[in-house]
């Protein structure tokens, strides 16, 4: 059974600092890994999708790395802004199962 | 459509009433998921549809919950005899398959009073 863990659970930084969010998973037989952002009371917005054959994906200030062998992914957000405050979730799609497995999320607060 | 559309965006209902929540996935996406998220909690899997296969209903919390997907497109989640513990945000997602990413709708916030 796939288990996904995100550390830390919460993170507070001053504006301008770089953010490092960690995601680990127990079953390395994944198709891909997806990072989402969720604002309070809202749905999930996809940030980055990394295929299993890739080592990283970049979009603007966001960069996500994937190390399948060690079961880890890291989301880097450069030069954080107050608008980056949200909960960030990583998720892996099923290998043999049907359910997209989510980590518990990292709640980020960027203080102006 | 361009994204996953859910309706209504908000629903307030009295305890004991039935409600229907609608999800219109991205055109051509064969996989459709329903999740719910209670206040301050993580995402709870409810049900999964893949093409014409029998749905995976293993996450439905009780027999008051049911869902259908007509013509491989629009899905409706029905909750009968609603209870206060059913209050949550119900999220729908669709995907082109295991290798594709998942796109979520904006959710339906259900409040049972």
**DSSP string computed for chain A:** ---EEEE-SEEEEETT--EEEEEEES----SEEEEEEE-TTS-EEEEEEEETT-SEEEETTEEEEEETTTTEEEEEE-S--GGG-EEEEEEE--SSSSSPEEP--EEEEEE-
Asked if B54 and B39 count as a contact pair (C-beta separation under 8 A), the reply is no
Any idea which of A12-26, B36-50, B53-67 has the lowest mean pLDDT? Answer: B36-50
3-state secondary structure of B71: helix
- Residue B41: the pLDDT is 83
Q: Does A10 touch chain B (CB under 8 A)?
A: no
% pLDDT > 70, chain B: 98
- Residue B18: the pLDDT is 98
pLDDT in tens, A25-77: 998 888 889 999 999 888 899 999 999 899 999 999 999 999 999 999 999 99
- Residue B98: the pLDDT is 67
* Alpha carbon distances (Å) from A111 to A10, A71, A82, A107, B40: 13, 31, 6, 13, 21
For residue B90, give the chain A residue with the closest CA: A43
3-state secondary structure of A60: coil
> ∠ at Cα B104 (A31, B51), nearest 5°?
60
Task: Kindly report whether the peptide bond that precedes residue A36 is cis, defined as omega within 30 degrees of 0.
Answer: no
3-state secondary structure of B98: coil
Residue A94 has pLDDT above 90, yes or no: no
Residue B1 has pLDDT above 70, yes or no: no
- pLDDT bin (cut points 50, 70, 90) of residue A82 is very high
Contact A93 B109 (CB under 8 A): no
B contact residues 30-59, partner A, Cβ 8 Å cutoff: 33, 42-43, 45, 48, 50, 56, 59
Contact A44 B104 (CB under 8 A): yes
Residue A1 has pLDDT above 90, yes or no: no
% pLDDT > 90, chain A: 78
- Residue A19: the pLDDT is 96
- Mean pLDDT over all residues of chain A? 92
Task: Report which of B46, B32, B47 is spatially closest to residue B95, judged by C-alpha positions.
Answer: B32
Task: Report which of B83, B59, B75 is spatially closest to residue B5, judged by C-alpha positions.
Answer: B75
């Amino acid at each position: 059974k796939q288990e996904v863990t995100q550390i830390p659970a919460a993170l507070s930084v001053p504006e301008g600092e770089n953010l490092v969010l960690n995601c680990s998973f127990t079953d390395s037989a994944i198709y891909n890994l997806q990072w989402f952002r969720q604002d309070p009371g809202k749905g999930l917005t996809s940030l980055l999708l990394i295929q299993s054959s890739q080592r990283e994906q970049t979009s603007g200030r966001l960069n996500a790395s994937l190390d399948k062998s060690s079961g880890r992914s890291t989301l880097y957000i450069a030069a954080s802004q107050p608008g980056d405050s949200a909960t960030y979730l990583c998720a892996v799609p099923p290998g043999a199962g049907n359910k997209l497995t989510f980590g518990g999320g990292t709640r980020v607060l960027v203080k102006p | 459509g361009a994204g996953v559309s859910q309706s209504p965006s908000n629903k307030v209902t009295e305890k004991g009433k039935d409600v229907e929540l609608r999800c219109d996935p991205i055109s051509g996406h064969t996989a459709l998921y329903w999740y719910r998220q209670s206040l301050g909690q993580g995402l709870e899997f409810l049900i999964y549809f893949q093409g014409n296969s029998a749905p995976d209903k293993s996450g439905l919390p009780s027999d008051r919950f049911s869902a259908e997907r007509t013509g491989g497109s629009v899905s409706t989640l029905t909750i009968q005899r609603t209870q206060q513990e059913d209050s949550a945000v119900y999220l729908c997602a669709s995907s082109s398959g295991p290798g594709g990413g998942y796109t979520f709708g904006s959710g339906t916030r259900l409040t049972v009073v």
